[in-house]
Amino acid sequence: MIYKGKPRKLIMEDGSVFLGTGFGEDSCDRVCELVFNTSPVGYQEIMSDPSYTDQFVTMAYPLIGNYGINRDDYETKHPTIGGFVVRDYNDQPSNFRSCKSFSDTLKELGIPGITGVDTRQIVRRIRDVGTGKALITGAGTSLEDGLKIIAETELKPDAVSRVSRKLIENYITVGAKYHIAAIDFGMKENILRSFIEKGCSVTVFPWNAKAEDVEAVRPDGIFLSNGPGDPEDVKEAIELVRTLRGKYPIFGICLGHQIISLACGAKTYKLKFGHRGGNHPVKELETGRTDITSQNHSYAVDENSLEGTGLTVTHRNLLDGTVEGVRCEADRIFSVQYHPESCPGPHDASYLFDRFLSLMDK
């Protein structure tokens, strides 16, 4: 089905231009980092994942919008994704859970989308030249004007502070055996749901929580969430982990994994085009087990910088060999680069939540 909307244009930083049709918010010009995701489903979870703040997501799977949007699968109440680039947008969803079309939802949220473009070429371009800035604009914008807008637009470095909770929030589970202090850098709702389903009470702290405030609630363990941007920008969290290291079991996911590594003295670096999708194979080195994982990140831990940190590599990405997990047994710290709560994605790695609970048992 051909979606009928306003003519729109995607201009990449390297001068590539793609003409298409707008959906969602179709009257704004916006500059964001252009990335791609290989998941065939889960556009609602992707749209509402705070880790995609200020990013245009190119969906490698061509058909988007066909099952609509429902009330239950949001990962945050206030999505901050930059926009969507898709091959074939379907504005007539068919699903018993659907309550609204994808385009109507994006329009209400002020998020632009463009459809009818060759996403295969865009994905290949990103793989060849790496991620970079791009502009979604009206079809009448010239390439010269578009490149000028891109060059003059600086992407904000404060993404974590914008998406994190501002106040401490408590989630009490009756009869809970464990009390977890979770640091919110842009935490997905399904992480919180996963802990509650495991019978945990959770106190969620803003990204810049002080160590004394975290210790005041007497937690059994510390959890560090996913989130957007460069982990080196989140200096307050790095210092928090340094202060609490060895005092409590600590578990980190995605950005939390990178923050743990930085706090222990390791380094991180930006990947050429990142890992985004629900089909990344990751091997656990100790057992030889391979999990199919859900991932969304631009940065990775530098394996050569781990010497002397007390951290050892526990997991490795089988596509490019990058570090996917680390552990310090003495300090009861471990972390993974991927998302075991799996929205969108498989459930292979959900056992990691039980591993965290077993550390608190000890």
Helix residue ranges, H only, 198-321: 211-216, 235-244, 255-263
Q: From the candidates 32, 33, 189, 254, which is the catalytic residue? A: 254
Please give the Cα distance from 72 to 107 (Å, whole number): 19
Say how far residue 122 (Cα) sits from the centre of its chain: 21
To the query of whether residue 341 is one of the catalytic residues in this protein, the response is yes
Q: Which tokens belong to 207? A: 């990204």
Cβ-contact 108, 76 below 8 angstroms: no
Q: From the candidates 13, 264, 341, 343, which is the catalytic residue? A: 341
CA end-to-end span of the chain, whole Å? 57
Question: Residue 236, SS3?
Answer: helix
Spell out the residues 6+ positions from residue 283 whose beta carbon is closer than 8 angstroms to its own.
289, 290, 315, 316, 318
Q: Which tokens belong to 320? A: 């490019």
Q: Which tokens belong to 102? A: 């994808």
Comparing CA positions, the residue from 64, 110, 53, 55 lying closest to residue 87 is 64
Please give the Cα distance from 56 to 114 (Å, whole number): 10
To the query of whether residue 254 is one of the catalytic residues in this protein, the response is yes
Q: DSSP E strands: which ranges in 66-171?
A: 83-85, 88-89, 112-115, 132-138, 169-171
Q: Which tokens belong to 264? A: 């222990």
Q: From the candidates 257, 275, 280, 339, which is the catalytic residue? A: 339
Q: Which residues pair with residue 40 across a beta bridge?
A: none
Please give the positions annotated as active site.
254, 339, 341
